[in-house]
Amino acid sequence: MNKRTDSKVRLLDAAATIVAREGAAHLTMDAVAAESGMSKGGVLYHFPSKHLLLEGMLNGLLTGFEERVARHREQRDGSLIQAWILAEQGQSSSQRSMALALLANAAESPDLLDPAREFVRGTFSDVRSEAEDEDLNTILLLAAEGLRFLGMLDLLPLDDDERGKLHDRLLNLAGKGAP
């Protein structure tokens, strides 16, 4: 990793730490500078605006998710829906915090989520096209997303064991719907 990339990663890690510790409202360029130990000028060199910092965070989330899906897909002999469910189940609290920050900021700047929209659109298309039962795979994907989203917002009225059982059930159903 070159020095420039290393600095960007350091800044994105600092931003994630701030959001996880203090919430999305406290994500400022000054806070990122303080957390990372870099000057505000250094922050602005890599991310000239908060919007670009948030885009960097989103890109990191999407890339990390794609990597988890690919890893699980290799382990599941190519089942995308099962890999997606497993990747969602493996989302860290830091990743959930970043996703919440992005969601909060998207209220003011809806275009911030354009890369995520494209990613999800492509995934839905891929999940549907590889299945014998497109509707079942769509329902499974929506259920997995619903569990993740409600959990992220702390609205899921299930404990970890109940949530785990539902994930296992989704995986089982996904195995039955696989080609």
pLDDT digits (tens, 9 = 90+) for 3-16: 667 899 899 989 98
Q: Whose structure tokens read 């080609």?
A: 179
Q: Can you tell me the distance from the alpha carbon of 99 to that of 3, in angstroms, rounded to the nearest whole number?
A: 27
Which two structure tokens, joined as six digits, stand for 6? 């290393």
Kindly state the percentage of the chain with pLDDT values over 70: 95
**Model confidence over 20-72: pLDDT tens digits?**
888 778 889 999 999 999 999 999 999 999 889 989 988 988 999 999 999 99
Q: What is the mean pLDDT of residues 111-118?
A: 92
Distance, in Å, from the CA atom of 93 to the CA atom of 98, rounded to the nearest integer, reads: 9
- Inter-residue contact 147 to 91 (CB < 8 Å): no
DSSP 3-state percent helix, strand, coil across the chain (nearest 5): 80, 0, 20
pLDDT in tens, 94-108: 788 788 888 888 888
Estimate the crossing angle of helix 114-129 against helix 50-75, to 10 degrees. 20
Look up tokens 């400022």; give the residue: 28
Q: What is the dihedral of CA 8, 9, 15, 19, to 10 degrees?
A: 160
Classify residue 172 as exposed, middle or buried by CB count within 10 Å of its CB (0-12, 13-18, 19+): exposed
What average pLDDT does the segment 67-89 reach?
Answer: 87
Give the residue from 148, 139, 129 showing the smallest Cα distance to 170: 139
Q: How many CB atoms lie within 10 A of CB 27?
A: 23
pTM of the entire predicted model: 0.82
